[in-house]
């Protein structure tokens, strides 16, 4: 068959929790990308590779960043094999590097059609076979698959187009530049109950309008994720600061997969630029820690075990000196000083942590406490249980739809006068 394979040059995709796409897009633009297009669960952007590396280091809401490699159209499943076998894979990775393939079948751009192919595992197998067979032709050997911790992780997106008469679907092959998820900051060594992803917590704070200048109260701090992310925002720390510090102080390897990619290792300018960026970022981190004070960030929890975990995690991050923790019940805490601020909480909602009937009183009492003790605050409650949210006898000024893992949730805002 005759195929038309598009080779992407400076095209990337950054993923994020659903509901935070606009924040991600603005971050990417602020870091220097010119062409940014939102889609559900992320943003496509065009830029030089150094901008993509900045997104990995400085984005607060990104989950992963991918470099787009190739794209082509298919009519039937086998077309994946025939197209992918034409790609010179040895220019992308080496025989001594293991690989893995993840496959995502998405909707068409306007959401009108779903992929007609039923077995994503089979689609991934076709790509794997094409890679192995092309390597055999070119080198007489084939690379090995590692499904747990591969050197190279490829993502294949298979998506139909919106033309109702077309049977063709678009395949895009991308390579993960991150390795570990960007959301894995490195401070959450211990967890309590069902903690939020770090980048989701960061995004929620941004949706709440937190910029570091306001007093922030976390009424049920758990393992301390909201507090750590708030400190990152307040002191303008790059979210990767722990990885950079451990690299500098203990010689730990940086976690980013792109460091071992052929396009990176062969680009002297890109390597020098990245090394310079890391050096400059260390200065930003050092300056941020010099400014830290124990003011403006308050965490409460009535579970001493949770506070012990939060204390441990914040100590690992060197953020404990910036945060005040106290054992107290969310239904009884009051604002720590005069004036306004932001109250935030992610109380249990029955899906994973408790039964719904046991939580109705909690939500009602939280609402009463906010009404009585947090005048001039904006309050934000995240929940995956809308009936429980109705137990808070306050009028919501707005609700944002977010996904906590696979759970559709609401971030409810209350203006407390």
- In the chain, where the domains are located: 6-176, 198-251+293-415
Could you give the percent of the chain with pLDDT greater than 70?
Answer: 98
Domain 6-176, second-level architecture: 2-Layer Sandwich (3.30)
Spell out the alpha helix ranges (H) of 86-141.
120-139
Spatial contact of 121 and 81, defined as CB atoms under 8 Å apart: no
Buried b (16+ CB within 10 A) or exposed e, 348-384: bbbbeeeeeeebeebbbbbbebbbeebeebbbbbbbb
pLDDT at 191: 80
- Which residue numbers in the chain have pLDDT < 70? 1-3, 351-355
pLDDT at 1: 46
Residue of 339, 248, 332 lying closest to 285 (CA atoms): 248
d(CA 65, CA 266): 20
pTM of the model: 0.95
What does the pLDDT look like over 90-118, one tens digit per residue?
A: 999 999 999 999 999 988 888 888 999 99
* C-alpha torsion angle, residues 240, 259, 190, 232 (rounded to 10): 0
Per CATH, the homologous superfamily of domain 198-251+293-415 is Vaccinia Virus protein VP39 (3.40.50.150)
What does the pLDDT look like over 121-142, one tens digit per residue?
A: 999 999 999 999 999 999 999 9
pLDDT at 405: 85
């Amino acid at each position: 068959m005759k195929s038309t394979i598009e080779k992407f040059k400076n095209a990337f995709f950054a993923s994020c929790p659903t509901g935070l796409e606009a924040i991600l897009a603005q971050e990417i633009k602020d870091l220097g990308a010119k062409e940014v297009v939102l889609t559900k669960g992320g943003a496509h952007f065009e830029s030089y590779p150094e901008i993509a590396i900045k997104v990995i280091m400085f984005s607060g809401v990104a989950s992963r960043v991918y470099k787009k490699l190739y794209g082509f159209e298919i009519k039937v499943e086998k077309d994946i094999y025939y197209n992918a076998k034409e790609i010179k894979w040895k220019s992308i990775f080496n025989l001594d590097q293991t690989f893995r393939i993840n496959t995502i079948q998405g909707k068409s751009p306007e959401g009108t059609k779903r992929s007609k192919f039923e077995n994503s595992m089979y689609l991934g197998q076709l790509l794997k076979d094409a890679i192995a067979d092309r390597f055999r032709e070119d080198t007489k050997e084939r690379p090995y698959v590692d499904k747990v911790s591969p050197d190279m992780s490829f993502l294949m997106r298979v998506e139909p187009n919106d033309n109702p008469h077309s049977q063709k679907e678009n395949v895009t092959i991308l390579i993960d530049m991150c390795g570990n998820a960007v959301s894995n900051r490195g401070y959450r060594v211990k967890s309590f109950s069902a903690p939020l992803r770090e980048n989701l917590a960061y995004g929620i704070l941004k949706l709440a309008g937190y910029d570091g200048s306001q007093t922030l109260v976390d009424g049920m701090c758990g393992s301390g994720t909201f507090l750590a992310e708030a400190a990152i925002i307040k002191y303008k720390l790059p979210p990767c600061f722990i990885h950079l510090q451990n690299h500098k102080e203990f010689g730990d390897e940086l976690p980013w997969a792109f460091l071992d990619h052929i396009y990176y290792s062969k680009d002297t300018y890109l390597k020098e630029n990245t090394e310079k960026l890391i050096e400059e970022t260390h200065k930003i981190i050092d300056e941020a820690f010099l400014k830290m004070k124990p003011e403006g960030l308050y965490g409460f929890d009535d579970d001493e075990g949770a506070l012990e975990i939060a204390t441990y995690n914040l100590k690992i991050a060197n953020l404990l000196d910036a945060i005040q923790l106290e054992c107290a019940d969310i239904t009884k805490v009051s604002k720590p000083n005069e004036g306004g601020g932001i109250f935030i909480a992610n109380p249990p909602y029955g899906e994973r942590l408790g039964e719904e009937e046991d939580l109705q009183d909690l939500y009602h009492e939280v609402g009463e406490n906010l009404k009585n003790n947090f005048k001039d605050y904006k309050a934000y409650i995240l929940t995956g249980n809308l009936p429980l949210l109705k137990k808070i006898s306050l009028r919501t000024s707005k609700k944002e739809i977010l996904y906590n893992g696979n759970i559709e949730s609401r971030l409810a805002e209350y203006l407390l006068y």
